[in-house]
Structures are given as structure tokens and as C-alpha cells.
Amino acid sequence: TTTTTMAENNTYQLLVAGKVRSTTDNFPVVNPSTGESFAQAPTATKQDIEDAVNAASDAWPAWATLALSERQKHMKKCAGIFKENTDKLAELLVKEQGKPLDQAKGEIGGAIMLLEKAMNLQPPVEVYKDTETLRIEVRKKPIGVIACITPWNYPVFTAVQKWAPALVLGNTVVVKPSPYTPLTTLLIGALLKDTFPPGVFNVVSGPDGQEFNSGAYLTTHPKVRKVSFTGSTGTGKKINEVVANDLKRVTLECGGNDAAIVLKNANAEKAAKGVFGSAFANTGQLCCAAKRVYVHEDIFDDFKEHLVKKAKSCKFDDGFEPGVTHGPIQNRMQYDKVSELVEDAKKNGATVVTGGKAKDGNKGYFYEPTILTDVKEGMRIVDEEQFGPVLPLMKFKDEQDVIRRANDTMFGLGGSVWSEDVGHANRVASQLECGTVWVNAHSDLTGAPFGGFKWSGTGRELGKADIEAFTETQTLQLAK
């Protein structure tokens, strides 16, 4: 089957051992802008997963011993294929994920950047000792078969973030996308089927909540030596339990509940623009979005007004509509959760400054951009991760107190501090307990290692952390 007919028939296939493969059962994929299914994705059986893992395991020894420069050439081919197919991939991404077309193209562009960065990964050889009789070196060795389990908010970027460095560093992979957004990853599988030796790169998919869960089976398979997961904290904890049974390596990038602190000497308009950009990026469906905002009481009203103005200037609509800035919430489950958190906040005395309800006139899972005040810790909207277009605003007076409040959570992915006095803001930033802290920005891609404290995950990916994440360390005492 060619990739063209895949997209035309709206029926997609697995990639196993270098060949696309149909399945007996398929499951529907819903376009969140209409709430209706528009394509079928393949339901992998236990045998399909078994075949994919065995293919990856069989392909590994030859791939691991291939020169790094050769593996880099394969990655260069991938980048070329992504570039040639940007429009096709972006259009499919809009249909299954909901984001506006320009942002979908941006995500594919980001994935190409990750492929190019992966090409430049150079595992170091450290020399600990070098004498007349011996030399002690520390080298990085590939791990083996890696299961890459990816989420529905940035399905292409988060997958490439895992499999590109994993492959360059000599591992083989089985990629399993979220059942809400499997299609773009399956299409990538078909496009890349001849780019690698058979079995090096495999893509499988399946729905959640079935008797056989392909993701769960992958994480328990004895030939899988590492699981790299991005998704919810709940699923991350389950994976962590399971991999303990045979001490698989694991990287978990889980949920966040990032605090943004707007200090007294911030420029209210600039800070509101920046916080809004982060909090509502991808319709709030970003692990490191600003999810609760603490604003100094002296500038609270000013900040709030600018934030509301931003919210009212946005266009939430189908991703193909001209001028659209934000798409729908990606799936029904998340839409219901966001609605429930807002209703709970209202019941507990929150004031809806703008939004607070489903968007009129659209089918699908559209929710108005919502800003809440009169909220506090102990309310679900503040304590839980909303992962949608809703932002609670809280006042503070005392700086030490707000740092304590920002840190008083089981999450620790990101955080930000906003002020015109950058020296002061930098000092506050270093006191936040989270994996990444920004000053006068939030959610920017830094290119540096990324991951979370506490329940937001374990391990790091991106930047130099990729070498640590996708290799084992071997010490060699060599004789002379």
C-alpha cells in the first residue's frame, strides 16, 4: 500500500519489520473540531506487538555496531522525507489533533529540527586514567529495544524527540502513539519504511481500555530494555511500577501544574501577553504551560484586564479556518474534565472573568478561553492540572509566601517569574522547585535537558541529556 492510498482511504497500517501491515480490527479516530470519526487506525494484536519487538530485537545487533556516521546518514534521509511531506503530515495532524494549520506545520518543523539535532549527537569517551600499564575509559553503549510511548498534544514532536536520538545512538525502537492521535505517526512509519534496515523502526497502535492493551503489553515485554514515556502522571506511575519487575530503564515526562509568578515590578501588559501565550498555547494542552498564576496585588487588576483583552482577541475554531489562533480540546474525556473543573470552581466561589462555558456555534470539543479569579489552593482548578484553555489567577502580597505556595504541589515540571528587575526575578527563579524555570517567558524551547521534579517525572530528554537517556555507561579497564 502506498502512503497516498493510506491517506486517501483513511485507513492506516502498522509498520513492523520494515513492512506496512493491516490488521483485522481497526478503531475510529475522531476529529475534535467536529466530534466525529474521520478515519480508522489499526488495532495491533498481541502477535503484532510480539512481531514488532522481535523484529527490533533481531535488528539491534547489526544496527548497534553500524558506524555512528552511517546511522546519522539514515537520520538525514528522515529529515528530507519530513521536509518533502510537511504539508501532507501537517494537514493530517490538524484533522486528528485539532491545532491550527500553521501550528501543525510548526510542529513538523520542530520535529525536523530534532532530527537534525539528533544527527549531531556525539557520545563522549572519558579517560579516567592513563598509565604505562593501563587505560581506564568510560564509554556510552546502546541500550537495546526502546518502547516510545507518546501523548496526543504534540504527537509528532514528542515521538521524534524520543526515536531520533534513540536510533542515532544505536538503539532500535517500537513507537506507540496515543490512540487519540495515532495517524500522523502511522503515516510517518509508512513514509520511512525503506529508510532503515527492517526492524530498526517500528510503529504500532491500539485503543485504550480493551482487553488487550498494546501499550501495557509493550512495557512488560522482556525484550524491551527501556521505556520512554510522555503523558499523564497516572499512566507514568503505572509504567514505573511495571518496569520495576525486570529493571527496565525508564524516562517519564509526566504532567505539570506550572506556576507563573508576576512580581510587583513587572510590566503588567508585557507579562499578561507572555503568560497568556504560554497558558493558552495549543489550547492549554501543553505539559509545561502556565497553569496557575500568582500576581502581586498592586498590579493584579491591571494584569487581569490585559489578560482578558488577549483572551477576547483570539479565534477558537477549526484548524483549517483562516485567522484561527486556537483549536478545540483534543478529546471528549479532556473536554469533560476541563468543564468539570470550571463547574467545581464556580460552585466553590470562583468568579468567571471571561469564558467559563462551551463555545457556541461549533460542533466538536470547543471551550471558551476562560479566566478565573477568587480561587485559592484547595480548589481543584488550582491543585490539579487542567490541560485546557482555563487559567486561575491569584493575588499575593509577600514574596516568600508566594514562593512557598508555588512550590506546595506534587508537580514540578516548569515555572516562571516575571519582572522588569531581572536580577531580582533571577533570584526568585532559582528558588522554584521544578525542572525548568523561565524568567519573563514560559514554555519556550530551551534546547537544554527537559523533565520534571516530583510527580512530573523521572529522567531527562533533549540537549545533552539524550546521550544519558538512550545509552548505558560502560567502564573499560584496558591493558597496555
The set of catalytic residues is 253, 287
- Report the relative pairing of strands 172-176 and 201-203 from DSSP bridges: parallel
Query: What is the rounded distance in angstroms from the CA atom of residue 173 to the CA atom of residue 44?
Result: 16
**Bridge-partner residues for 21, per DSSP?**
14
Query: What is the rounded distance in angstroms from the CA atom of residue 204 to the CA atom of residue 174?
Result: 7
Torsion sign across C-alpha atoms 316, 114, 196, 199: negative
Nearest to 440 by CA among 257, 263, 271: 271
Helix (H) or strand (E) holding 321: none
DSSP, residue by residue, 18-67: TEEE--S-EEEEEETTTTEEEEEEE---HHHHHHHHHHHHHHHHHHHHS-
Altogether, the residues listed in the chain come to a count of 480
- For residue 118, what are the CA distances in angstroms to 177, 203, 244, 431? 20, 19, 29, 32
CB proximity list for 61: less than 8 A, separation 6 or greater: none
**Bridge-partner residues for 147, per DSSP?**
174, 227
Is there a contact between 393 and 373 (Cβ–Cβ < 8 Å)?
A: yes
- Report the relative pairing of strands 19-21 and 26-31 from DSSP bridges: unpaired
- For residue 192, what are the CA distances in angstroms to 74, 80, 185, 201, 371? 10, 10, 10, 8, 43
- Per 3-state DSSP, the chain is made up of helix, strand and coil in percentages (nearest 5) of 40, 25, 35
Longest dimension (CA), the chain: 79
Query: What is the rounded distance in angstroms from the CA atom of residue 263 to the CA atom of residue 428?
Result: 10
Is there a contact between 368 and 357 (Cβ–Cβ < 8 Å)?
A: yes
Set of cell numbers at residue 407? 512550590
**Residue 353: how many CB atoms within 10 A of its CB?**
18
